[in-house]
Structures are given as C-alpha cells and as structure tokens.
Amino acid sequence: MKLRAQDLKELLGVNFHNDEDHIDGCICFSKAVLHGGGRDPGRNGVIMTRIDLGDAVFVHASDIQLLNAATIDYIIAWQPDIVFAAGPPLYLANTTNDETR
C-alpha cells in the first residue's frame, strides 16, 4: 500500500490529497475504518465515502465486510438510503465478527 501511495504522490504531485475524515460539499470521507475483521485501522484500514444526492444518501463502504460493529454504527449514523459494501469473501470457509452486535 505504501508503494502505491508513493506512486500516486509522484504522479499527481500537488493534486494528491488525503481526504480522511474530510467533508467537501456533498461528499464526505470517513476516518480510516477496519478492513474486514482486522483490529488496526491505521495499519489495515479503508476510507468510506458518503455522497448526499439531495433526495438520497449513498454510502460506498468498500471492503469493510460488515464485520465490525463500530464501523456499522458509523454507517448508520450517516443515515444512508443506499449502502454499497463488500461482504466477507465467499471463498472463506469461516468468518466471524470481531464484536457481538
């Protein structure tokens, strides 16, 4: 991930921005949240996106896998009408939540 980030910084220069926990008009970015059932969002996190379309709210929660209660609560607080979230990979034989809901 660090190499990809560095490549993007070199390619985009001053146009490279970290929008973690940032609002820009109708688009809002979350703080880093857990990727799947991990325990350290700083090391293995993803950033979700909330888009307010005026009459509806769309949330893109890539790769969170809906396995962490705090992340799910974060999404609920955004009051979305539509959520696009990647669930646990179907090729895994067993997946468990890291917290009980």
Lowest mean pLDDT among 10-14, 19-23, 32-36, 97-101: 97-101
Q: How many domains does the chain have?
A: 1
Please indicate, yes or no, if residue 1 is contained in any of the structural domains.
no
Please indicate, yes or no, if residue 2 is contained in any of the structural domains.
no
Q: Is residue 48 exposed (0-12), middle (13-18) or buried (19+ Cβ within 10 Å)? A: buried
pTM of the model as a whole: 0.73
The pLDDT tens digits of the residues spanning 81-90 come to 999 998 766 6
* pLDDT at site 8: 85
What phi, psi does 2 have (nearest 5°)? -65, -40
Please indicate, yes or no, if residue 8 is contained in any of the structural domains.
no
How far apart CA 68 and CA 13 sit, in angstroms, is: 35
Chain center to CA of 61: 4
Please indicate, yes or no, if residue 78 is contained in any of the structural domains.
yes
Please indicate, yes or no, if residue 26 is contained in any of the structural domains.
yes
Please indicate, yes or no, if residue 6 is contained in any of the structural domains.
no
Please indicate, yes or no, if residue 66 is contained in any of the structural domains.
yes
Range of the structural domain that residue 75 is part of: 19-101
* pLDDT at site 53: 95
How far apart CA 34 and CA 54 sit, in angstroms, is: 28
* Bridge partner list, 50: 28, 59
